[in-house]
């Protein structure tokens, strides 16, 4: 069995939780190369303000690819101010059909405080059915934990933080160094 030309980068868990009129996106800080932790304090959740309309976004995958996608999303939002769904669909179409963008290896969770979407390179713009979305190496652990917590008294941020802590306890590619961004009513 031959070794890949480029070793696999792993290490992201991003979760988005919508509850009580607020949306929280949280991400861990770990970046791993194979079985080595390269960085424990990466910031994979960002606040964007294209045209004065705030959006929060978290990314999993290649950092350079994710930044390229975030820049493209900002341009789409500037062209369609306040229309996150439209901007996401336009980005997904470009991502799927553009020869350069098609090779980008990243996923995004984005929100404007109302909508919550997952964007993929397959052309998907997905709105989660249960008010929770997660991506990355530990995404399914965080998703399961958050869904179990949704019916309780915890608010969106507490759910995201608790779900991320559970994912960090289970997934070796996830740590507890969080970046958390909140958007929406208080």
Residues serving a catalytic function are 12
Spatial distance between the Cα atoms of 32 and 19, rounded to a whole number of angstroms: 31
Q: What is the DSSP letter of 114?
A: S
Q: Can you tell me the distance from the alpha carbon of 39 to that of 54, in angstroms, rounded to the nearest whole number? A: 28
C-alpha–C-alpha distance, residues 35 and 186, integer Å: 41
Going from the C-alpha of 79 to that of each of 91, 98, 107, 159, the distances in angstroms are: 12, 19, 22, 34
């Amino acid at each position: 069995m031959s070794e890949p030309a480029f070793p696999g980068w792993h290490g992201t868990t991003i979760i988005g939780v919508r509850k009580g009129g607020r949306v929280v996106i949280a991400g861990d800080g770990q970046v791993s190369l194979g079985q080595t932790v390269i960085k424990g304090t990466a910031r994979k959740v960002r606040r964007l303000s294209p045209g004065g309309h705030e959006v929060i976004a978290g990314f999993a995958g290649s950092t350079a690819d994710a930044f390229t996608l975030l820049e493209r999303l900002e341009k789409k939002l500037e062209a369609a101010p306040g229309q996150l769904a439209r901007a996401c669909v336009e980005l997904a179409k470009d991502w799927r059909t553009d020869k350069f963008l098609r090779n980008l290896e990243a996923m995004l969770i984005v929100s404007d405080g109302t909508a919550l979407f997952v964007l993929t390179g397959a052309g998907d713009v997905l709105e989660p059915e249960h008010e929770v979305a997660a991506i990355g190496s530990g995404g399914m652990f965080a998703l399961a934990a958050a869904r179990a917590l949704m019916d309780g008294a915890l608010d969106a941020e507490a759910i995201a933080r608790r779900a991320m802590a559970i994912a960090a306890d289970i997934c070796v590619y996830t740590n507890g160094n969080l970046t958390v961004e909140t958007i929406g009513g208080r």
